[in-house]
C-alpha cells in the first residue's frame, strides 16, 4: 500500500467506503425481507471484493498508462479492460455456479462503485458549501476585527 | 415429450446466444477508455501541474465507462444461471396446462 499513488489510494478508499456502506444496506434489506441466508453474505463478500479489486486495478492501469508513451496507452487500457471484465465474469460464474452464492447479492455489488461515483457531486457540493461558509465566516470575522 | 425436450434445448441455446451478445457490450467501453486515457496523457503533457486533478477525473471517468460493460456481464450471468430455471418452469407449467387439450 505504501507504493501506491496517492490519487489511486484516495479514490480506491472512497469507492471501498461506498461498497461497504451499500453492502451493509443490502444485507439490511435482505434481513428485513426475511430472505437472509449464509449464501447472501458470501455472495456479497465475493462481489464487493471483486468490485473494489476491479476499481483498484483500473486505477493502477490508468495511472501507469498515463506515464507511458501515448501510442501504447490505448492498447494497454483496452487489453486491461478486457482482462478485468473476463476475470469478473469468471469470478461471478464460479461464485454463482460452483459456490452457489445468492445471484443478486453477488452481482449487485459490482454496480456499487457506479452508485458511489454518481453520488459524488452531491458530497463534493456539500463539502464546497462548508468551506465557502467557513471562508465567509472568516471574512466577516476579519471585517469585524478591522 | 419430444416437443418439450426440443423447446428446452432451443431455449437453453438461445440463453447462451443472448449471454454471448450481452458480453459484446464490453468492447465499446474498452475502446472509449483507451481514447480517454490517451487524451488525458495529452492534457497532462500540456499542463503537468494539473496531473493530480486530471488523473482523478480520468479514473472516475473510466470507472463510469466501464459500468456499461458490467451491465452486459450481469445480464450474461443472469441469462446463463437464472433464466433457464425460470423459462423451464414456465415451459413445464404451459405443457401441463395444455395437456387436457392435447
Report pLDDT digits (tens) over A87-101: 999 999 999 989 899
Q: A42 lies in a domain?
A: yes
Q: Which of residues 18-57 of A touch B (CB under 8 A)?
A: 54-55
Per the CB < 8 Å rule, is B41 touching A117?
Answer: no
Q: A49 lies in a domain?
A: yes
Q: Where are the alpha helices (DSSP H) in chain A?
A: 6-33, 38-66, 70-97, 103-107, 112-118, 120-145
Per the CB < 8 Å rule, is A55 touching B63?
Answer: yes
CA distances from A94 to A42, B14, B32, B44, B96 (A): 12, 22, 29, 40, 34
Q: A129 lies in a domain?
A: no
Q: Residue A109 has what pLDDT?
A: 94
Q: Which domain holds residue A92?
A: 7-120
To test the contact with chain B by mutation, choose from A6, A78, A80, A108 the residue with the greatest count of B C-beta atoms within 10 A, namely: A78
Domains in chain B and their CATH numbers?
Answer: 25-98 (1.20.20.10)
Q: A132 lies in a domain?
A: no
Selecting from B40, B60, B81 the residue whose C-beta is nearest the C-beta of A97 gives B81
Q: DSSP state, A99?
A: S
Rounded mean pLDDT of chain B?
85
Report pLDDT digits (tens) over B30-65: 888 888 888 888 888 888 888 888 888 888 888 888
Q: A-chain residues within 8 Å CB-CB of B71?
A: 111
Q: A11 lies in a domain?
A: yes
A120 interface with B at CB cutoff 8 Å: yes
Residue of A nearest to B58 (CA): A62
- Residue B16: which residues within 8 A CB-CB, separation 6 or more? B79, B80
Q: A134 lies in a domain?
A: no
pTM beyond 0.80, yes or no: yes
Residue of B nearest to A97 (CA): B81
Number of domains chain A contains: 1
- ipTM, two decimals: 0.80
Per the CB < 8 Å rule, is A110 touching B74?
Answer: yes
Amino acid at each position: 500500500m505504501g507504493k501506491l499513488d496517492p490519487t489511486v489510494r484516495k479514490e480506491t478508499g472512497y469507492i471501498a467506503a461506498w461498497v461497504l456502506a451499500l453492502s451493509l444496506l443490502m444485507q439490511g434489506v435482505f434481513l428485513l425481507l426475511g430472505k437472509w441466508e449464509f449464501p447472501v453474505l458470501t455472495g456479497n463478500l465475493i462481489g464487493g471484493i471483486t468490485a473494489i479489486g476491479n476499481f483498484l486495478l483500473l486505477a493502477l492501469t490508468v495511472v501507469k498508462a498515463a506515464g507511458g508513451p501515448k501510442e501504447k496507452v490505448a492498447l494497454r487500457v483496452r487489453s486491461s479492460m478486457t482482462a478485468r471484465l473476463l476475470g469478473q465474469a469468471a469470478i461471478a460464474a464460479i461464485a454463482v455456479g460452483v459456490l452457489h452464492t445468492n445471484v443478486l447479492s453477488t452481482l449487485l455489488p459490482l454496480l456499487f462503485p457506479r452508485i458511489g461515483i454518481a453520488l459524488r457531486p452531491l458530497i463534493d457540493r456539500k463539502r464546497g458549501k462548508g468551506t465557502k461558509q467557513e471562508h465567509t465566516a472568516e471574512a466577516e470575522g476579519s471585517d469585524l476585527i478591522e | 415429450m419430444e416437443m418439450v425436450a426440443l423447446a428446452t434445448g432451443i431455449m437453453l441455446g438461445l440463453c447462451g446466444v443472448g449471454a454471448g451478445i450481452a458480453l459484446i457490450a464490453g468492447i465499446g467501453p474498452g475502446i472509449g477508455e483507451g481514447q480517454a486515457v490517451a487524451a488525458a496523457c495529452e492534457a497532462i503533457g500540456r499542463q503537468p501541474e494539473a496531473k493530480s486533478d486530471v488523473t482523478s477525473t480520468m479514473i472516475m471517468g473510466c470507472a463510469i465507462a466501464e459500468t456499461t460493460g458490467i451491465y452486459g456481464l450481469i445480464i450474461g450471468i443472469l441469462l446463463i444461471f437464472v433464466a433457464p430455471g425460470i423459462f423451464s418452469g414456465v415451459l413445464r407449467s404451459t405443457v401441463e396446462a395444455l395437456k387436457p387439450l392435447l
